């Protein structure tokens, strides 16, 4: 009985601590001990799952946000040891048209995954090393950024086989870094490394605008499609908000250092801003006119440079050295929306 009571007390204590502001709960990933080269994280609403391309483990992990159960989909390049960066295996994924799409940096491929069968059903060779993959809903295309070649490679899916077929390329000199799709405007946005952002018409595939974004080093990108805000993450720890229609700089704020992947919760109106060098994550409220207000900063882990938000008020931060995710419950009140 005493042992049972002690176990119960320990469980309740852990739950209490996990609920405190700034506390995190860890999700261990299969094969993650020893490190994972995380990069892109993304929540898939249609699957109610967080997409976690788990680098060297050879798997795309799906995390249930409510049970935190992890389902690993294998078939990607696998490496036994963590190399310290994020150039191994699968590092970016997205959903669209009932499929999942994921890149593989070792094999230089884009893969089509059946989330129901939990397996890769098709692959296509890329012409250069991949970074981001995104599904472009207005054209039903798959776009893959290839920074080494300074371009975006485009694929369409064969209706009968779901095989990705090369369908064109977009030259993005000085980039592309990051990629987000605004289906409402019919535009995609990406950065140039030297502090500028480009707007691309998804139907004509033409760069229609290039805007200064206020960064010394452009990195992360996120979007509030409904309110027309484009969020910019600068490596030096600066967050910026642009008008997604004309590129006007609406506001900026600073927090942390070594910023890379950022994310935004449209439901809460909050921007999540992790810094890998500072080992912190800032949370900003976004006002109706695009102004940023710092709500708080929490400690994360060394090298924790990526984040994704789900629909339930959770922010997932990668912990590369430990090969796990840190889950933070956002207890701040929702931002005022208009």
Rg, the chain, Cα only: 19
Sheet with 24-28, strands from edge to edge, namely 24-28, 324-329, 314-319, 307-309
How would you write 82-99 as a 3-class SS string?
CCCCCCCCECCEEEECCE
The structure tokens listed for 241 are 């908000």
Contact 59, 72 (CB under 8 A): yes
**Domains defined along the chain, listed by start:** 215-338 (2.130.10.10)
**How many Cα atoms are found within 13 Å in the side-chain-facing hemisphere of 299?**
3
d(CA 176, CA 193): 7
Beta-sheet pairing, 238-243 with 249-254: antiparallel
User: Tokens representing 126?
Assistant: 């890329």
The first and second tokens of residue 280, run together, are 């912190």
The CA-CA-CA angle for residues 56, 265, 308, to 5°, reads 10
pLDDT of residue 166: 97
Gap between the Cα atoms of 274 and 193, Å rounded: 19
Residue 12 is predicted with a pLDDT of: 34
Cα–Cα distance for residue pair 167/14, rounded to 1 Å: 51
Q: Report in angstroms the alpha-carbon separations of 305 from 155, 253, 262, 324.
A: 29, 18, 8, 13
Would you give the DSSP letter of residue 1?
-
Predicted model pTM: 0.92
Residue with tokens 């946005």: 189
**According to the model, what pLDDT value does residue 88 have?**
86
| Predicted pLDDT at 2 | 34
Cα-based angle 176, 180, 185 (whole degrees, multiple of 5): 115
Pairing of strands 109-114, 207-212: unpaired
Quick one: which of 16, 9, 4, 27 has its CA closest to 317? 27
Give pLDDT, residue 94: 98
Helices (H), strands (E): how many in the chain?
Answer: 1, 28
pLDDT along the chain (338 residues), means of 10: 33 37 85 94 97 97 97 96 81 97 98 97 98 97 98 95 96 98 97 97 98 98 97 98 98 97 98 98 98 98 97 97 97 85
Q: What is the pLDDT of residue 160?
A: 86
The answer to whether 16 touches 319, Cβ cutoff 8 Å, is no
Beta-carbon contacts of 178 under 8 Å, excluding residues fewer than 6 positions away, are 132, 145, 190, 191, 218, 219, 220, 221
**Model pLDDT, residue 19:** 40
SS3 string of 200-245?
EECCCCCEEEEEECCCCCEEEEEEECCCCEEEEEECCCEEEEEECC
So what's the pLDDT on residue 168?
A: 98
Residue 22: per-residue pLDDT: 66
The gap between the terminal CA atoms of the chain, to the nearest Å, is: 55
Element (H, E) at 101: strand 99-104
């Amino acid at each position: 009985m005493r042992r049972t009571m002690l176990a119960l007390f320990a469980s309740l204590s852990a739950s209490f601590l996990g609920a405190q502001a700034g506390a995190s709960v860890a999700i261990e990933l299969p094969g993650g001990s020893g490190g994972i080269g995380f990069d892109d994280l993304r929540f898939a609403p249609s699957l109610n799952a967080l997409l976690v391309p788990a680098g060297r483990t050879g798997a795309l992990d799906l995390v249930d946000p409510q049970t935190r159960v992890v389902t690993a989909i294998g078939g990607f390049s696998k490496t036994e040891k963590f190399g310290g960066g994020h150039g191994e295996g699968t590092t970016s994924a997205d959903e669209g048209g009932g499929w999942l799409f994921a890149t593989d940096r070792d094999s230089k491929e884009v893969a089509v995954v059946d989330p129901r069968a939990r397996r890769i059903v098709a692959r296509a060779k890329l012409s250069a090393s991949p970074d981001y993959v995104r599904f472009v809903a207005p054209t039903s295309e798959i776009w893959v950024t290839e920074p080494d070649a300074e371009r975006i490679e485009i694929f369409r899916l064969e209706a009968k086989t779901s095989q990705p077929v090369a369908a064109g390329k977009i030259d993005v000199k000085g980039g592309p870094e990051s990629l987000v799709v605004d289906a409402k405007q019919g535009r995609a946005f990406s950065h140039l490394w030297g502090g500028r952002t480009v707007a691309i018409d998804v139907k004509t595939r033409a760069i229609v605008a290039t805007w200064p974004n206020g960064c010394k080093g452009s990195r992360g990108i996120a979007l509030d499609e409904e309110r027309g805000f484009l969020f910019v993450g600068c490596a030096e720890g600066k967050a910026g908000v642009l008008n997604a229609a004309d590129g006007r700089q609406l506001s900026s704020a600073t927090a942390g250092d070594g910023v890379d992947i950022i994310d935004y919760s449209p439901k809460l109106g909050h921007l999540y801003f992790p810094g890998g060098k500072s080992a912190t994550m800032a949370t900003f409220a976004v006002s109706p006119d695009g102004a940023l207000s710092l709500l708080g900063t929490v400690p994360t882990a060394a090298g924790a440079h990526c984040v994704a938000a789900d629909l339930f008020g959770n922010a997932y931060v990668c912990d590369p050295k430990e090969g796990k995710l840190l889950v933070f419950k956002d207890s701040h009140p929702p931002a005022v929306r208009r």
